[in-house]
Structure 1
Amino acid sequence: MDTSSHTLSCLFRQLGLPSSDTAMENFVKNNHLPKEIPLDHAAFWNAAQAQFIRESLDEDSDWSEVVDQLDAMLRH
Structure 2
Amino acid sequence: MNATNPTLNELFDQLGLKSDEESINQFIERHRGLDSRVKLEKAPFWNEAQSSFLRNAWVDDAEWAEVIDQLNSRLR
Percent identical across equivalent pairs?
40
- Unaligned 5+ segments in structure 2 are none
Counterpart for residue 12 of structure 1? 12
> For 2:3 and 2:60, how far apart are their aligned partners in 1?
14
Q: Kindly indicate whether the alpha-carbon contact (under 8 Å) linking 1:12 and 1:24 is maintained by their aligned counterparts in 2.
A: yes
Alignment TM-score, normalising by the size of structure 2: 0.91
- Unaligned 5+ segments in structure 1 are none
Q: Kindly indicate whether the alpha-carbon contact (under 8 Å) linking 1:15 and 1:49 is maintained by their aligned counterparts in 2.
A: yes
Deviation of 1:59 (Å): 1.3
**Larger fraction in helix:** 2
Q: Kindly indicate whether the alpha-carbon contact (under 8 Å) linking 1:3 and 1:62 is maintained by their aligned counterparts in 2.
A: no
Task: Give matches, 1:62-73, under 5 Å.
Answer: 62-73=63-74
Alignment TM-score, normalising by the size of structure 1: 0.91
Q: Cα RMSD between the aligned structures?
A: 1.1
